[in-house]
Amino acid sequence: MSITVRQVLERLAEFGDERVLARDRKLGAGDAQYGVRLGEIRKVAKEIGTGHEQALALWEAGNLVARLLAILVSNP
């Protein structure tokens, strides 16, 4: 992975939206998330490409948005 998980999380946090964050919390997502729209998560997935190791590292971050990204970049 040429970009670290921390860098990916920082990139995702840039797209955070308070309304999305509030909606996701209301739906039970908790505080481990940034409130990022799926379209923005898809953009980041396209930027970083696919890879099993990337997906595992993102999943281990435990953040809802990181886990959604992990699903998009996984390549079993």
Distance (Å, whole) CA 17 – CA 6:
19
Report the predicted TM-score, pTM, of the whole model to 2 decimal places. Answer: 0.88
How far is CA 11 from each of CA 30, 52, 74, 76, rounded to the nearest angstrom?
20, 20, 18, 24
- E-only strand ranges, the chain: none
Structural domain containing residue 20: 5-73
pLDDT digits (tens, 9 = 90+) for 59-72: 999 899 999 999 99
For residue range 5-49, what is the model confidence (pLDDT) as tens digits? 999 999 999 999 999 999 989 998 888 889 999 999 999 999 999
* Amino acid occupying residue 54: Q
Give the number of domains in the chain. Answer: 1
Helical pair 5-14 and 52-60, crossing angle rounded to 10 deg? 70
- Structure tokens belonging to residue 8: 């990916």
